[in-house]
Amino acid sequence: MYEYRIEVKDLNTWFGEKHVLKNITCYFEDNSVTAIMGPSGCGKSTLLRSINRLNDLIPGFRLTGQIFFAGSNIYDPDRNVYELRKRIGMVFQRPNPFPMSIRENLTFGPRLHGIKDEDELERIVEDSLRKAALWDEVRDQLDSPAVHLSGGQQQRLCIARALSVDPPVLLMDEPVSALDPISAGKIEDLIVQLKKEYTIILVTHNVQQAFRVSDQAAFLYMGELVEFDKTKRIAVAPEDPRTEAFITGRIG
């Protein structure tokens, strides 16, 4: 049932002396969107990046606790991090297509993971672009440089690129905050579509966006998980005064 559910248990993280995440326990269900919200510097990106071990390379980073993915702790010493990142994809705040053609952006990951068959690669290109709602706009220019696309198209390409290796989980760190409202709206719609097949964890400091697209929401404040529940409940009746202050715009 919960094959791809992620479970965070007693997570604490430090950058040097700075204790950034404090006793975080939460979980992420299949086929759902969880929004992680909170003011700048509260630890949203740190939490997200802990889930595919992107913080590991930062000097001075330290972590205690566990994050279970498909039944095992992703911080087990014998865990293959490369394989983990294939299964937990990531989309960043600024669109960062590779300086290659649209097609090559989408075949890069699959090739790296050993897919050589050209027909299969073509199928992946089309599938990923369709899932990212970009196919119709770029089908006639697959060999053009990806950086010639608009910002919103580049971000959908980055989503397609993340999907090209077929990860069950997608992490998104403020994926629309660098985009114009129309492009942002398209990506919000896309997120709602994608949750039918993926587990999506969306970092945002935009409360209205969190309420529009998420099923569950986490509110982080100064490294603490202040509130974690169904979005509907938090939206109408936040339990903690800090959550209420945040969602009504009084903090953050």
Q: Does 42 bind ligand ATP (CB under 6 A)?
A: yes
Q: Nearest CA to 133 among 173, 208, 183, 88? A: 183
Q: Which of ligand ATP, Mg ion, none does residue 20 bind (CB under 5 to 8 Å by kind)?
A: ligand ATP
Please name the residue that has the structure tokens 């409202």: 181
Judged by CB under 6 A, the stretch of 39-47, 106-114, 181-189, 238-246 that binds ligand ATP is 39-47
The least distance separating Mg ion from the CB of residue 163, rounded to whole angstroms, comes to: 22
CB-hemisphere CA count at 13 Å for 229? 12
Q: What is the radius of gyration, based on Cα positions, of the chain?
A: 18
Token pair for 192: 């709602």
CB of 55 to ligand ATP, least distance (A): 8
> Any idea which residue has 């760190």 for tokens?
173
CB of 235 to ligand ATP, least distance (A): 20
Ranked by CB distance to Mg ion, the top (closest) residue is 45
Give whichever of 92 and 108 is closer to Mg ion, judged by the CB atom.
92
DSSP secondary-structure letter at 249?
T
Binding partner selected for residue 109 from ligand ATP, Mg ion, none, CB under the kind-specific 5 to 8 Å limit: none
Q: Residue 80: which of Mg ion, ligand ATP, none does it interact with, CB under 5 to 8 A by kind?
A: none
Residue 218 parent element (H or E): strand 216-221
Q: Can residue 20 be called a binding residue for ligand ATP (CB under 6 A)?
A: yes
Is 55 a binding residue for Mg ion by CB under 5 A? The answer is no
Q: How far apart are CA 7 and CA 23, in angstroms?
A: 13
On the CB side of 167, CA atoms within 13 Å amount to: 26
The mark string for 170-209 relative to ligand ATP (x by CB under 6 A, - otherwise) is: -----------------------------------x----
DSSP secondary structure code for residue 5 in this structure = -
Q: Can you give the binding site for ligand ATP, defined by CB under 6 A?
A: 15, 20, 38, 40-46, 58, 205
